[in-house]
Chain A
Amino acid sequence: MTSIAAEAAAEPSYLKAGYTLRSWLLTTDHKRIAVLYMISLTAFFFLGGAAAAAVRLNLITPEGAVLTADGYNKAFTIHGVIMVWFFLIPSIPATFGNFMIPLAIGARDLAFPKLNLASWYILILGAAFTIYALVAGGVDTGWTFYTPYSTMFSNTHVVAAIVGVFISGFSSIFTGLNFIVTIHKLRAPGMTWFRLPIFVWSHYATSLILVLATPVLAITLILIAAERLLGIGVFDPALGGDPLLFQHLFWFYSHPAVYIMILPAMGVITELVTTFSRRRVFGYSFVAFASLAIALLSFLVWGHHMFVSGQSMYAGMMFSILSFLVAVPSAIKVYNWTATLYKGQIALDTPMLYAMGFIGLFVVGGLTGLFLASLAIDVHVTDTYFVVAHFHYIMVGATVMGFLGALHYWWPKITGRMYPEWWGRISAAFVFFGFNLTFFPQFILGYLGMPRRYFSYPPEFQVLNVMSSAGASILAVAYLFPFCYLLWSLRYGKIAGPNPWGATGLEWTTSSPPPKHNFPEIPVVTQEAYAYPVAPDGGAHHGGATHHG
């Protein structure tokens, strides 16, 4: 034991492997690349959030408080484009997946470290194009770029924005490819598929969607650019094109994209629930296969975005049934998380609060998804705030909760410091409260008939809109809290040991922050992923000696 600890102490942590800017920007260490992602995604998140703030501020009064109608269209487009493609899609996979997958499977890095770095540069290049489009005058099509508006009528910088999204897609593809190959080929000796943490399983499922769905988005965007730039009519009827074709191709990607956002969060929640209730995951293989089932079904439900588009009634019925089926693996996960809690020794630390919040918000988002999958109800609420509220419960309520949960859970591993627990709990409570106050009124607004993407609205909707905007301001503050105290903890936080939570998982057996090559020597795995209870010093036997100094 001492010799291993001494060896671990011999290699400095990944943070101390170099101090120059160059050592960060040209690194091939998956952990440093994850940190690069974390910094840039945080910036994108606050940019998208600022646009959301402008939207909510404008909706305080029925006739529009601060923006022109044009400015409003551009604000919600910026919000959607940035949040979907430059925050939510890469969020958990590119940061925590990148950092944790090699550690969790006992590898020294991802299979293709240079490709991993390239993925980050590609994302930044894509973001540069998109931000150029925003600065040069904005885009007003909404994040969905529906044709023929986006190809023929919009006088905004559609092409630059599309090029940005197209480029960022390759970042997704390469990340997914890297994860798939890594999980297949770089598992440590003894790390069988059914000893993998659920976090890894869910990233495997996510990666399948990333590599199979993103290229379809790429071709769709190529077609839009070809139509706008070269006049090759594909979607515009005036040029012999078919506008519905766009919706089919777009949603073939963009529905699975929602599962790209939620599956990694589900993996995070599984880790949190099991760690903070000190119990092995109830029904491990069901939870693992539920991820794959969701990934598979995600490709068969795109038509539920098109119930009112004029597609055939029979297609609508099929898509409705298939969409209902997604509830089955989703419910399996929710029930298994709850069953994991049963008779557990539950500790309500910040990550667990986020996990509990996730489950609540995900259930609301999921159940309202069933409303929308029902043909008759969908006709009533299509393109209303009901839809907006529904997908925000999933994409913000659930995914961002998962992101913040992961951030607090792995913060000690990534930085070697603990965050202030009291502030963590307070801000988790604020996020939950602010989120619900923002989006629950939108369900009611939508049901009463307020359409989405409208600059102004009838005065009787004002009370609910003001509630929503008030909630948004609470949410904004609640997101700023962690930003501040996490930065503070980098310097003043308590030093974290290798395994502050007493969790299972190989990432907790190495020092915090991990050495450049992750493990002094490649671990040999002899037991299942969640072998609770862990002895009090559990996991601290590899390299804990470097700390508490």
Chain B
Amino acid sequence: MAETQLIVHEPFREAAQQREADALGMWVFLATEAMMFGGLFFALIVIRVIHPQGAQEATNELDMWLGGLNSALLLTSSLTTTLAVTAARNGARGFTIGCLLASAALGAAFLCVKGYEYYVDYTKGLIPAVGKPFPIETTGAELFINGYFVSTGLHAIHLFIGICLAIGLATVVWLRRVPLPGRSIVVEMTGRYWHFVDMVWIFLYPVLYLMDRGG
């Protein structure tokens, strides 16, 4: 199995060229994702600067420990994803499938915790338009909380897509539709997307939960 048979298809001339193109394509795609979340981060930071008091009171409403638990879940899923990529490169099908499913399970656990957290937010009246009226009067607090919902919601959608990709990939690897290690690039690129979704959370967590906490 040490002889890695990489599969080349049109319009590429050689395996290395195809690999580099796939990798570059994924990086460019992730750059677009970074710009999309970048718009949100920009807005959140601006709110923090313009309305420090309101943003701080809003931050105090968010549960740092639930967010922290979620950070731990996602970071662990990045580990299993990395293992899946290494296993795929070595052609270890079973281990690849196991690791992908573990990542998907950790991602699903994250979504469950997030869902519980949204429920807690609902009981506090933080969710716009439904439930109790918004509890904080200070200017900027509501805007900040709305930013929190949009950014964590968008992140959750991305994670959901990632979970679907991981399960789908595990299935096609199992069915040998994606032969390993010949098409290990597919696992690698899915992994790269997964890590990106993690990275977004690694930035979201401090910006939403930790900055200016207390007081």
Chain A contacts to B: CB under 8 angstroms = 102, 107-113, 173, 176-178, 180-181, 184-186, 211-216, 218-220, 222-223, 226, 230-234, 239-242, 245, 249, 252, 522
Query: Smallest Cβ distance from B67 to chain A, in angstroms?
Result: 19
Known: A181-B21, A216-B36, A222-B150. 10 other contacts (CB 8 A): A110-B11, A111-B11, A111-B21, A112-B25, A212-B32, A215-B35, A215-B39, A216-B38, A240-B140, A249-B39
Select from chain B the residue with minimum beta-carbon distance to A109: B11
Let me know if B143 and A180 touch, CB within 8 A: no
Name 19 A/B residue pairs within 8 A (Cβ), A-sorted. Answer: A109-B10, A178-B25, A185-B24, A186-B12, A211-B32, A212-B35, A215-B32, A215-B35, A218-B36, A219-B154, A230-B129, A231-B128, A232-B128, A232-B149, A233-B128, A233-B142, A234-B43, A234-B147, A234-B150
B25 touches A173 (CB 8 A): no
Give CA–CA (A233, B37) in the complex, Å. 18
Bound CA span A400–B40, Å: 34
- Chain B 37-90 interface residues, beta-carbon cutoff 8 Å to A: 37-40, 42-43, 46-47
Query: In whole angstroms, how far apart are the Cα atoms of A222 and B147 in the complex?
Result: 12
Q: Is B171's beta carbon under 8 Å from chain A?
A: no
A252 touches B142 (CB 8 A): no
* Main DSSP-derived SS at the B contact region: helix
Question: Is B3 part of the contact surface with A, judged by Cβ < 8 Å?
Answer: no
A211 contact set on B, CB distance < 8 A: 28, 31-32, 35
Question: How extensive is the interface on chain B, given as a class?
Answer: 35 or more
Q: B33 at the A/B interface (Cβ < 8 Å)?
A: yes
**Residues B128 and A245 in contact, CB atoms below 8 Å apart:** no
Interface residues of B in 103-162 (CB under 8 A from A): 128-129, 134, 140-143, 146-147, 149-150, 154
Alpha-carbon separation in the docked complex, A106 to B136 (Å):
62
Q: Is there an interface contact between B150 and A232, defined as CB atoms closer than 8 Å?
A: yes
Report B's interface with A, CB cutoff 8 A. Answer: 10-13, 17, 20-21, 24-25, 28-29, 31-40, 42-43, 46-47, 128-129, 134, 140-143, 146-147, 149-150, 154
If the complex has contacts A180-B28, A211-B32, A234-B143, are A239 and B128 also in contact, measured as CB distance less than 8 A?
yes
CB distance from B197 to the nearest CB of A (A): 15
Give the residues in chain A near B140, CB-CB below 8 Å. Answer: 240
Q: Which residue of A lies closest to B20 (CB)?
A: A185
Give the nearest-CB partner of A184 in chain B.
B24
Q: Are A181 and B35 touching (Cβ within 8 A)?
A: no
Residues of chain B with a CB closer than 8 A to A230's CB = 128-129
CB contacts (< 8 Å) of B150 on chain A: these are: 222-223, 226, 232, 234
How many angstroms between the C-alpha atoms of A442 and B90 in the bound complex? 67
Contact A233 B32 (CB under 8 A): no
Query: Chain A contacts of B37 at CB under 8 A?
Result: 219
CA distance A219 to B200 in the complex (A): 15
B-chain residues with CB within 8 Å of residue A180 when the two chains form the complex: 24, 28
With A107-B11, A185-B20, A234-B150: A177-B128 Cβ-Cβ less than 8 Å: no
Q: Which 5 A-B pairs have the closest CB atoms?
A: A240-B142, A231-B129, A215-B36, A109-B11, A108-B11
Flag if A214 contacts B32 (CB, 8 Å): yes
Asked if residues A219 and B31 are in contact (CB atoms below 8 Å), the reply is no
- By beta carbon, the residue of chain B nearest A189 is B13
Complex CA–CA separation, A226 to B38 (angstroms): 18
Given A177-B29, A216-B35, A234-B147; A185-B21 close (CB under 8 Å): yes
Contact of B142 among A112, A239, A245 (CB under 8 A): A239
A231 to B145, CA, bound (A): 13
Q: Tell whether, in the assembled complex, residue A241 and residue B143 are in contact, meaning their CB atoms are under 8 Å apart.
A: yes
Q: Are B39 and A233 in contact (CB under 8 A)?
A: no
A219–B39 Cα distance when bound, in Å, is 7
CB distance from A242 to the nearest CB of B (A): 6
By the criterion CB–CB under 8 Å, are B39 and A216 in contact?
yes
